[in-house]
């Protein structure tokens, strides 16, 4: 596929010469702040561009070529952008590693991705050493800080020089899926010769504009950069000429402080972050000025309608939502459209993707009937699961449509509503039960701080519905609360949807990006 075709498929920009994309912004104003690190250290665009160029040149000197991979294991830091930007302009795919992972998980991804170079932060050297030793890693190890047995970062960069590399080719990072079943899989988008970073940035501009992005301002990244959404947000912010503020871990009040302190204009969150912000005491919520916000973007999991409405009431009409995955993009919805179609994740044609709802036999379902959501991106090169053609084939239907594994429906006007993940669906007594519906109902009870619904084996029903509940502070998880929740469900849900068992926890497991780790709750029942 040539560069011109890529531009047509991603969305045509007008042919003006306005500055756009990180590299152009860096050349136009090298003294502008690009990144404000976790400790407050500021890095200018010019300094970041010079280091990223040096990474590009050093990787080429190390022998990396088009579509090769290079791993990075670092906590939220400007070093992440050094490395990923350096990889991305020479056709090399950065492979961000989860810094919460154990050695076996890191070893698997480094080995599976065939990464030839790995960059490691000093605080993560011990876990990296165990992982790399276990697979006999023979590539280059670069220490982002001082570390024995690694090439020092400064030495690695000095070998390449800070000039722009020749023959620049854009490459996306290769992200690994969360692994609902089995080992995670790398999602590979092959680099396209002739597509420069500037061309790629302009090609994606219309889609990101529909997600609330605008030129200039300050973007807050409050999730881990190794995860697709926060990492993409940070890179897109640089492409849109924004300064990026990094947070090392979620802290609701700290988020509000940073929004006020830096006059943050853009931020991406997950629904659990909305939930946690809304649980802050009212006096804390009122303490901080959030009027600078232009766009609060969210994705990653379904957001309860009541939760999102409460955020609208607090932050104003600045909430943007999109439906996408590492494997591809789907739909977007802005504030006004959501308020008119509450609960939707966008129109079937909002981002250029075609949407179908199919039954188990692959037949197209009519409006308002729940089935598997399939999307097709006309003219766009397809991603694949690295080294797993069977899984790649299983994700695709007829005529180029593919699924991310979500269940949903289209209404009569073409608005898409998600119901649940196919893998989360509970089959009880031969009837499909969707945990998200039950969770949203239970979350409305005043004594529930958080809730997850799972299915467990049942000799009579096939699966039984279990609710795992975190009570609000000061409420005991006891028989009285069980009785109250049963009555609440009986009054608002069909009988077969009502949980048969209630468990109480102090907290639920979430990933650093705010995704519920439902598998951790479910696996003990299926062992």
Residues found in the chain: 527
Residue 99 structure tokens: 């810094």
432 and 476 together in one domain: yes
Per-residue pLDDT, 10: 40
Average pLDDT, the chain: 89
Name the residue with tokens 């993560």. 124
- Distance, in Å, from the CA atom of 177 to the CA atom of 385, rounded to the nearest integer, reads 9
Instruction: Return the bridge partners of 411, or none.
Output: none
pLDDT band at 15 (very low <50, low <70, confident <90, very high): very low
Helix, strand and coil in the chain, % to nearest 5: 35, 25, 40
Per-residue pLDDT, 290: 97
pTM of the complete model: 0.84
391 and 262 together in one domain: yes
- Per-residue pLDDT at 181 exceeds 70: no
160 and 141 together in one domain: yes
Per-residue pLDDT, 5: 40
265 and 118 together in one domain: no
- Distance, in Å, from the CA atom of 288 to the CA atom of 256, rounded to the nearest integer, reads 6
Are the C-beta atoms of 227 and 513 separated by less than 8 Å? yes
Examine residue 89 and state whether it is found in any structural domain, yes or no.
Answer: yes
- Per-residue pLDDT at 29 exceeds 60: yes
Per-residue pLDDT, 101: 87
152 and 259 together in one domain: no
Instruction: Return the bridge partners of 93, or none.
Output: 69
Least confident of 238-242, 394-398, 455-459: 394-398
Are the C-beta atoms of 26 and 219 separated by less than 8 Å? no
Examine residue 168 and state whether it is found in any structural domain, yes or no.
Answer: yes
Examine residue 496 and state whether it is found in any structural domain, yes or no.
Answer: yes
- Per-residue pLDDT at 140 exceeds 60: yes
What residues make up the domain containing 369?
250-422
- The CATH number covering residue 63 comes to 3.40.50.980
Q: What is the mean pLDDT of residues 426-449?
A: 86
- The CATH number covering residue 511 comes to 3.30.300.30
- Per-residue pLDDT at 4 exceeds 70: no
Higher pLDDT, 379 or 334: 334
How crowded is the C-beta side of 143, counted as CA atoms within 13 Å? 14
**pLDDT tens digit sequence for 241-290:** 999 999 998 999 999 999 999 999 999 998 889 988 998 999 999 999 99
494 and 430 together in one domain: yes
- Distance, in Å, from the CA atom of 330 to the CA atom of 346, rounded to the nearest integer, reads 9
- The CATH number covering residue 326 comes to 3.40.50.12780
Are the C-beta atoms of 317 and 335 separated by less than 8 Å? yes
Examine residue 501 and state whether it is found in any structural domain, yes or no.
Answer: yes
Question: How far, in whole angstroms, is CA 97 from its chain's centroid?
Answer: 14
- Distance, in Å, from the CA atom of 210 to the CA atom of 449, rounded to the nearest integer, reads 32
Q: What is the mean pLDDT of residues 52-73?
A: 97
pLDDT band at 57 (very low <50, low <70, confident <90, very high): very high
Examine residue 179 and state whether it is found in any structural domain, yes or no.
Answer: yes
29 and 86 together in one domain: yes
Q: What is the mean pLDDT of residues 27-53?
A: 97
Examine residue 504 and state whether it is found in any structural domain, yes or no.
Answer: yes
pLDDT band at 2 (very low <50, low <70, confident <90, very high): very low
406 and 432 together in one domain: no
Per the structure, the count of domains in the chain is 3
Q: Is 443 helix (H, G, I), strand (E, B) or coil?
A: helix
**pLDDT tens digit sequence for 464-517:** 999 999 999 999 999 999 999 999 999 988 888 999 999 999 999 987 777 888
Higher pLDDT, 145 or 472: 472
pLDDT above 70 coverage of the chain, percent: 93
Examine residue 52 and state whether it is found in any structural domain, yes or no.
Answer: yes
pLDDT band at 201 (very low <50, low <70, confident <90, very high): very high
Per-residue pLDDT, 182: 63
- Distance, in Å, from the CA atom of 216 to the CA atom of 242, rounded to the nearest integer, reads 5
- Per-residue pLDDT at 212 exceeds 50: yes
Examine residue 438 and state whether it is found in any structural domain, yes or no.
Answer: yes
Name the residue with tokens 């999730």. 223
Least confident of 43-47, 226-230, 264-268, 350-354: 350-354
413 and 437 together in one domain: no
- Final residue before a domain boundary, out of 142, 167, 192: 192
- Distance, in Å, from the CA atom of 22 to the CA atom of 13, rounded to the nearest integer, reads 17
- Final residue before a domain boundary, out of 422, 443, 458: 422
- Per-residue pLDDT at 394 exceeds 90: no
Per-residue pLDDT, 178: 63
Per-residue pLDDT, 510: 87
429 and 415 together in one domain: no
Picking from 317, 349, 345, 342, the residue whose alpha carbon sits closest to that of residue 332 is 345
**pLDDT tens digit sequence for 90-130:** 999 999 999 988 899 899 999 999 999 999 998 999 999 99
54 and 176 together in one domain: yes
Per-residue pLDDT, 86: 97
Per-residue pLDDT, 9: 38
- Final residue before a domain boundary, out of 422, 437, 465: 422
Residue 484 structure tokens: 């109250």
Per-residue pLDDT, 398: 67
- Distance, in Å, from the CA atom of 149 to the CA atom of 172, rounded to the nearest integer, reads 29
395 and 487 together in one domain: no
């Amino acid at each position: 596929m040539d560069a011109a075709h890529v531009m047509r498929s991603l969305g045509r920009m007008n042919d003006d010469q306005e500055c756009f994309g990180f590299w152009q912004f860096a050349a136009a104003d090298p003294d502008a702040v690009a990144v404000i690190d976790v400790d407050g250290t500021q890095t200018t665009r010019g300094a970041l561009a010079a280091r990223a160029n040096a990474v590009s040149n050093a990787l080429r000197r190390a022998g990396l070529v088009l579509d090769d991979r290079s791993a990075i294991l670092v906590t939220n830091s400007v070093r992440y952008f050094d490395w990923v930007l350096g990889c991305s302009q020479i056709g090399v795919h950065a492979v961000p590693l989860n810094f919460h992972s154990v050695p076996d998980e890191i070893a698997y991804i480094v080995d599976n991705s065939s990464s030839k170079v790995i960059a490691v932060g000093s605080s993560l050297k011990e876990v990296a050493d165990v992982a790399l030793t276990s697979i006999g890693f023979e590539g280059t190890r670069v220490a982002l800080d001082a570390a024995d047995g690694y090439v020092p970062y400064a030495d690695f960069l000095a070998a390449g020089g800070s000039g722009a590399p020749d023959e620049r080719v854009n490459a996306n990072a290769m992200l690994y899926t969360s692994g609902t079943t089995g080992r995670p899989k790398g999602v590979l988008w092959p680099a396209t010769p002739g597509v420069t970073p500037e061309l790629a940035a302009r090609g994606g501009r219309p889609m990101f504009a529909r997600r609330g992005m605008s030129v200039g301002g300050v973007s807050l990244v409050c999730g881990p950069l190794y995860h697709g959404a926060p990492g993409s947000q940070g890179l897109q912010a640089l492409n849109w000429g924004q300064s990026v503020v990094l947070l090392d871990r979620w802290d609701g009040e700290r988020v509000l402080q940073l929004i006020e302190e830096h006059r943050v204009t853009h931020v991406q969150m997950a629904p659990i972050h909305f939930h946690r912000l809304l649980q802050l005491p009212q006096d804390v919520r009122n303490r901080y000025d959030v009027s600078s916000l232009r766009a609060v973007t969210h994705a990653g999991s379904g957001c309860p309608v009541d939760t999102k409405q409460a955020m609208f009431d607090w932050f104003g009409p600045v909430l943007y939502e999109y439906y996408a995955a590492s494997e591809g993009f789907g739909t977007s919805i802005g504030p006004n459209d959501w308020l008119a179609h509450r609960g939707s994740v966008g129109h079937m044609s909002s981002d250029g993707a075609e949407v179908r709802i199919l039954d188990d036999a692959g037949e197209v379902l009519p409006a308002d009937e729940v089935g598997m959501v399939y999307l097709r991106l006309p003219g766009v090169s397809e991603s694949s699961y690295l080294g797993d053609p069977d899984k790649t084939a299983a994700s695709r239907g007829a005529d180029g449509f593919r699924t991310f594994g979500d269940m949903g429906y289209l209404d009569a006007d073409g608005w898409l509503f998600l119901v649940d993940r196919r893998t989360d669906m509970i089959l009880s007594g031969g009837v499909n039960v969707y945990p998200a519906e039950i969770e949203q109902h239970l979350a409305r009870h005043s004594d529930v701080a958080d809730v997850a619904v799972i299915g467990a084996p049942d000799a009579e029903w096939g699966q039984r519905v279990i609710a795992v509940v975190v009570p609000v502070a000061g409420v005991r998880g006891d028989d009285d609360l069980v009785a109250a929740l049963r009555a609440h469900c009986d009054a608002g849900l069909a009988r077969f949807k009502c949980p048969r068992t209630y468990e109480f926890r102090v907290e639920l497991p979430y990933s650093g990006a705010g995704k519920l780790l439902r598998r951790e709750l479910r696996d003990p029942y299926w062992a």
